[in-house]
Homo-oligomer: A and B are copies of this chain.
Amino acid sequence: MIDRKISIGIVAPGRSLDKSIADRVTALSGNSAELFFHPQCFLREGHFAGPDEARVDAFVQFANDPGLDAIWFARGGYGACRLLDSAFERLGEAARRKTYLGYSDTGFLLARLAKEGIGRVAHGPMPADILREGGEAAVRRAIGFLSGADGEAGVEPGTRVPGKYAAYNISVLASLIGTDYAPDLSGATLLIEDVGEYHYRLDRLMFTLTSSETVRAAAGIRLGRCGPIPVNDVDFGQDEEEIARSWCARNGIAYLGRADIGHDVDNKIVVFGERSASV
């Protein structure tokens, strides 16, 4: 634990945040952390929290700010992939000394940060989770992790043992497969989750993941939660775990059971990369 307040900078690479969310999250931050919401979080342009340039600039500015200890992504919702081709060559040394936390659409950025070895990268709750029923617990888990105040308490149990880990939204990871920005998952236990996708779409997504060298290089897959799943005009005939199991079996990937992550208040934190034995 660190005896000064940790400084956390918040930017929104996808959709925008309501000011009221910032206020509610700040009220929960306690004595261990000070939150800085970049004004870009509250911009709106069409679907996004401001134009691509504004989202890139805010991310780069905060990542390069030596006074900030962590970057916390405000919200998902789509848009982070549009930062990939221009933000990263502008990151400097201060960006390497930070923790980055987010999930869902922000996985596009987590993937590239992890691939380039920039900072400590983690998959977990975001400020917008305060809007969920019981969302305070998720937000407190994130702040407790970023500030160091909670130690390992918020970390996904299966990832507390030595090994290599990565966690992604299934749709986001599938969108990255085959692109210039595909992550390096070799030897990693891959935790995946999704939300709001029909079973037939999850099946198609699992086809893409498990039919790629990128995912076949992983040590295995653990399946987080995928609910709520919309009802289709015909029942798919398999639930999400059967879908994951069967695609893993088909493509020679170890299916390693369930994971405690998902688009919900129980979403635990997964730290990317190698974790060595504690001493």
- Measured in the bound complex, the distance between the Cα atoms of B45 and A219 in whole Å is 33
Which A residues between 38 and 79 are near B, CB-CB below 8 angstroms? 45-48, 78-79
Number of copies: 2
- Measured in the bound complex, the distance between the Cα atoms of B46 and A211 in whole Å is 23
Which single member of B175, B201, B203 contacts A208 (CB below 8 Å)? B175
What is the total number of residues of chain A having a CB less than 8 Å from a CB of chain B? 39
Instruction: Flag if B250 contacts A47 (CB, 8 Å).
Output: no
Which single member of B46, B171, B175, B176 contacts A237 (CB below 8 Å)? B46
Contact partners of A45 in chain B: CB under 8 A = 237
Instruction: Flag if A200 contacts B234 (CB, 8 Å).
Output: no
A178 interfacial by beta-carbon distance below 8 Å:
yes
- Measured in the bound complex, the distance between the Cα atoms of B81 and A207 in whole Å is 7
Residue pairs across A and B with Cβ atoms less than 8 A apart, 10 shown, are A45-B237, A46-B234, A47-B235, A78-B200, A82-B207, A85-B211, A176-B208, A177-B178, A178-B178, A178-B212
